[in-house]
Amino acid sequence: MLSVETRHAIDPATARGFDTEALRRNFHVGGIFADGEIKLIYTHYDRMIVGGAVPAGKDLVLDEVPQCGTDTILARREMVVVNIGGEGIVRAGSDYAMAKGDMLYLGMGSGPVTFSGGGRFYILSAPAHKTLPSRLIRIDEAARIDLGSQATSNERTIHQFVHPEVMESCQLVVGMTKLHNGSVWNTMPAHVHDRRMEAYLYVDLPEDQMAVHLMGEPTETRHMIVRNEEGAISPPWSIHSGAGTASYAFIWAMAGDNVNYKDVEMVGMGDMR
């Protein structure tokens, strides 16, 4: 079963007046992993789609999504599938066996996508301008960056999967960041990138723990409580950062005007409010 929710773009002036309910209604990502279902959120931020597919013992086929206006979702789009569960298979022209933590890039024109096995599949898709080869990327093939320190509680490893240093894509840039033991802060010091939106998904967070996700303009920050397999849609004008009450990882994905990972505007720690 397929369900699609549409999220319209919100400007920063409007977001300043949101209460908790309005923030979550517009920016929180939750409930996208349901047994036997494909659940998508179609955003008006660079037309990014985020969603989940949980086969739970049967095949699930992702084909036509009315919001895309095409016969099949990948007719004019590219896609990245991340397995956050058990062993699973994704079929799109070829069969791709995926273990937990693997990422699969599917190029424009790959056709319908079938999910099967014991995987829990996180789905990311954005418009594409040309067809590029599909590719399965495992964590040892990703580019690695170590950042932060224990002294500032932000020691972390960034794994860049769909990234110019690893492979070519049209506009999707996707990776996973893992916090080291004893560190809680991600993406701090914070930044914004006006030319790209970003989506977060927090994973490997114990069920009785949570993360506090920070968003908003640097001088008008807001927060949302997120739990395991939940995340946030981050507009280009917003910071995207967070701290957890236990060890966790998160999947980050960007779409927009370029694929330059370092094209950001840093926010000084003294400028945050």
Do the annotations mark residue 198 as ligand-binding?
Answer: yes
Alpha-carbon distance of 85 to 83, in angstroms, equals 6
Do the annotations mark residue 168 as ligand-binding?
Answer: no
Alpha-carbon distance of 64 to 70, in angstroms, equals 7
Do the annotations mark residue 240 as ligand-binding?
Answer: yes
Do the annotations mark residue 191 as ligand-binding?
Answer: yes
Known binding-site residue numbers for Zn(2+)? 191, 193, 198, 240
Q: Which residues are annotated as a binding site?
A: 191, 193, 198, 240
